[in-house]
Structure 1
Amino acid sequence: MLFVTMAVVLAIQYSLEETVPRTAYEKDFMLGQFLNDTFFPKLKNYHINATQVPEDKYKFVAKVVHSTRHKYPVICTAACVHERIFLTAARCVYNAIPQYTRVFYLGEKIGVGAFILPTFQTKQQYDDVAFVVVDYGFSQTYQVAYFYSSYMQREDDRFDWLDKYREGVYDYYDHVVIGYATSWEDVKDGERMNNTNYNLTELDIHIGTRFCTEILPSEALPKTLSTFHVPCYHACSIHEFKMFHEDCTKYHGVEGGIVYNAYKGRIVGIATWGPYYDFNSGIYDSRSLPVGYAVPSGKPFEEAFKCARGVKQENRDRYPGTLQMACDLGA
C-alpha cells in the first residue's frame, strides 16, 4: 500500500482507494486532556423496544454490509446526503474494504467505490463521520437528507455551541434516532455475525451534552462537567433517568444511526459510540445507557464532503492518483 502526501493523504491499492482530506483545523476537535482518561466503545447495532418502521418512511436511509454476496454482516447504517454519496460513522468503515462492501438502499444493492475519512481523527473516532461513495448502476432517484449544520456551526472545542442549538430549536419530542438494528436478544445470545434480521427502527430521544456527563462519570476522574462533555442521546431525560421512568429502558445503539430532527427534517448527528452492559454477566441496570454521536459540522466535515463530491465524478476504473486529484478539486 502506497501513501502519498499532498493536499490530502491517499491510500491506493489497485482498485481500492481510501481518500482522506487533510485540513488545518485539528484543534477544532480537541476537547482537552480529560479525554485521555475516557473510552468510547463501539456500538453493537441493537435496539431495545424501539419501533420498527417501513423503509419508505425514511427513504434516505441505507444499510452497509461487508460482503459482495450476502446480506450480512451488517456493519452500520448510512444516510444518503448527495447523489451516490452516503454518510456514516467513520469507525464503521475504518477497517472495511470498499470492493468487498455493498450498500443496500431502496431495495437495491450498490457497489462501493471509495471511503472518505478525516485526516485528523478524534480519540477512537468518537466525533468522526465518513462518506461512502457508491458506484453507478442504481436505477432509482436518490432521496437525499440534509444537514442541520447551517444552523449548528462549531464555534469552540468544548461543544458549547451545541448547547446554543438546544436553546434555539430544541424540543424533547423533536428528535429521533433511525437505523438498522437487530434485537438485543440476538446480541445477548451472540447471534450477530450471520444475523440477517436487521430492521429499520426508530426511537424518540433527548439530546445534549449532559447525558454522558451525568450518567457515565469516569472512574478515573471526579464527576465534573468536563467528564464526557460530548454530544449524547438517551430515550429519556436526565430527570426521568433519575426517577427510573419506564422510557429509560429503551435503547437504540447503531453505528451510523441517524440523529434526526423530525420537526425540521434535518440530520443533527451520526451515532458513533456507546457503552453497554455485559448481558451474560447477569448484572445490569434496568435503565439503558446513553449513546454518543458525531456532529456533521465544521471545516473538516466540509472538506471531506467536498472531497467526496469530487471523488464521485471518477469512473470505476481508476489509475493511481486519480482520486487524489479528484479529492483536491472537489465539486
Structure 2
Amino acid sequence: MQSTLLLVWLVCFCAADSPNYDNTHFCPIPEMAQQGATEEPESQHPWLVRVVHAPSNATDMAPLICTGAVLADRVYITAARCIFSAKADYTTVIYSGHQLSVKAFVFPAQPTNQMFDDVGFIVSWWKREIKSFHTITLALERRLDDNSFDFFDDLAVNDSTLLGFIASKDSPSTHTLYRLDNMHASNEVCHELYPSGGGGGGAYRVPCAHSCRAAEQRAGSAPCGRLLLGLGHVLVDRSARLLGLVTWSCANAPTARRRSHDMPLPLGLALPNTKASQLNYDCAIAIRNLKVDYDKLTRGTHKSACDNIYNAAISG
C-alpha cells in the first residue's frame, strides 16, 4: 500500500526517496495564463478556494500558488505539486473571503501512477466566523485498480468546464476566477497530441483535458486556441462534480506556443478516485478532528492521528 507523507506545522517528515514534485518530469508546473477564458463570479462556485503562500494575518495575499476545492469542512483538495515544498504555517487558504490558517498538508510520499503527480489535501484550522462550508462532490467512482486509467476511456467528457484563479501580474494579491467551457477530457488527447521521444505517435495515454479534440487541433480549429493555465485548476462535469485537477502542462509557455502556431497543448489531470487518495483523505479528516491546540503541537502529532488508517490498509 502506498505510504503517505505529512508536511505538518513547521516539521517536514521528508523521506530520502520522496519525489520532487517541483521537477518530477520535463513538464513544468503550469504558469498562470488564460486565452479565450471568461471571468466568473466567485460566488457561482462557493466551494472553490485559493491557496496562497503567505501567513493568514498578512495583508498582502501573494503569491497565489494554486486553486483548490472544498471536500469537507476545513478539508481541501488540490494538486500535490502545489503544497509539496510549501510550509504549512506560512500558507493560507482563502475561502469565501476568509483567510484560513493551515493545520496540515497530506500528500503521497512515493511516485504514483497519476503520471508525474497526484492530488494532495490541505486541512485548515477552525474559524468562528464560518458556520458551514460549501463542498464539491466527486464525479468518479472509487476505482479498484490504482494502476490503470482504462475507466477513463469510457468517460470521454466533451462538455466539462475548467475553473481556476489567476493572479494579476501588476497586482499579485488580486486573484481573478476564470472559466473555460466545452473542455474535452480523455486518455487519448494527450496521447495523440504530445509526441513521444521515439517519434511516431504519442506516449502520454493518461487523463488529460483540452479545449478541443485532437482531430480538431490538427485541423486548426479556432476553439483549440483557448487555454486556462494554473496549478490545481478544477475540471468539473455539467453537474459541477469534480473530475480532476490540473497538475502538469507541457509546451504551453508563450514561446513554446509560438513554435506550435499558438496552439496550446492538453493539460495533465490528477484524479481523486484512487484507493490511495481515499486513504489520504481519511487521514486529512482524522487530522481535522484531532483536538490539539497549536501551542501544544509536537513532532509527529498529526502523523500519529493517521497511523491506524494506514496500518489497517496495509494489514487488510
Deviation sequence 1:217-243 (CA, Å, 0-9, x none): 12x223346x01111111112222122
Q: Which amino acid aligns with 2:147?
A: D
Change (3 A) 1:202 1:154: farther
Aligned residue for 2:306, secondary structure, equals helix
Q: For structure 1, which segment, 102-111 or 310-319, has the greater mean C-alpha deviation from structure 2 after superposition?
A: 310-319
Note if 1:50 corresponds to 2:37: yes
How much has 1:73 moved relative to structure 2?
Answer: 0.5
TM-score when scaled to structure 2? 0.83
TM-score by length of 1: 0.80
Report deviation, 1:121: 2.1
Match of 1:65 in 2: 52
Gaps of 5+ in 2: 15-23, 311-316
Deviation at 1:41, TM superposition (A): 2.0
Render the CA deviation track for 1:170-226: whole Å, top value 9, x for unaligned: 4x22x111110247xx5xxxx6xx6234211111211001111111112x223346x
C-alpha distance in structure 2 between counterparts of 1:196 and 1:223, whole Å: 45
> What's the counterpart of residue 149 of structure 2?
159
Query: Aligned partners of 2:252 and 2:235: how far apart in 1?
Result: 22
Q: Aligned partners of 1:75 and 1:246: how far apart in 2? A: 30
The RMSD of aligned alpha carbons is 2.7
State the partner residue of 1:3. Answer: none
- The answer as to whether partners of 1:110 and 1:138 remain within 8 angstroms in 2 is no
Are 1:230 and 2:239 counterparts? no
Cα distance, 1:127–1:38 mapped onto 2, change above 3 Å: closer
Contact 1:45–1:181 at 8 Å: present in 2 too? yes
Deviations 1:222-281 (A, max 9, x none): 3346x0111111111222212211111100121111111123x31110110001344358
Aligned to 1:202: 179
**1:142 corresponds to which letter in structure 2?**
F
Once residues 312 and 17 of structure 1 are traced to their aligned partners in structure 2, the CA distance between those partners, rounded to angstroms, is 17
Contact 2:4 2:107 survives alignment (8 Å): no
Q: 1:8, 1:327 within 8 Å by CA — same for their partners in 2?
A: no
Q: 1:158–1:279: structure 2 CA closer, same or farther, 3 Å change rule?
A: same
Deviations 1:269-302 (A, max 9, x none): 0110001344358644222111111011121111
| Maintained 8 Å contact 2:5/2:106 | no
Query: What's the counterpart of residue 161 of structure 2?
Result: 176
1:77-126 CA distances to partner (integer Å, 9 max, x unpaired)? 01000110000000101110011100111011111111001122238973
- Which residue number in structure 2 is paired with residue 261 of structure 1? 237
Q: Note closer, same or farther for the CA distance 1:138–1:104 as it changes in structure 2 (3 Å cut).
A: farther
> Structure 2 CA distance, aligned partners of 1:247 and 1:83?
37
Query: Does 2:224 match 1:248?
Result: yes
Q: Which amino acid aligns with 1:92?
A: C
In the alignment, what sits opposite 1:132? 122
Cα distance change on mapping 1:245 and 1:224 into 2, 3 Å = closer
CA-CA distance at 1:324 after TM superposition: 1.9
Distance in 1 of aligned mates of 2:128 and 2:121: 17
Is contact 2:143–2:275 with CA below 8 Å preserved after alignment? Answer: no
For 2:279, the equivalent position in structure 1 comes to 303
Contact residue 7 and residue 105 of structure 2 kept, 8 A: no
Where does the alignment leave 5 or more consecutive residues of structure 1 unmatched?
1-6, 21-36
In 1, Cα distance between the equivalents of 2:152 and 2:116? 16
Other structure's SS at 2:162 match: strand
- Percent identity between matched residues is 27
- Report the count of equivalent residues: 291
Query: Among 139, 151, 171, which residue is 1:148 paired with?
Result: 139
Asked whether the 8 Å contact 1:47–1:253 carries over to 2, the reply is yes
Matched, 1:279 2:254: yes
Q: CA deviation at 1:325?
A: 2.0
Instruction: Summarize deviations over 1:2-25 as a string: whole Å, max 9, x none.
Output: xxxxx755566xx424579xxxxx
CA contact (8 A) 1:19 1:323 kept: no
Cα contact 2:64–2:167 (8 A) shared by 1: no
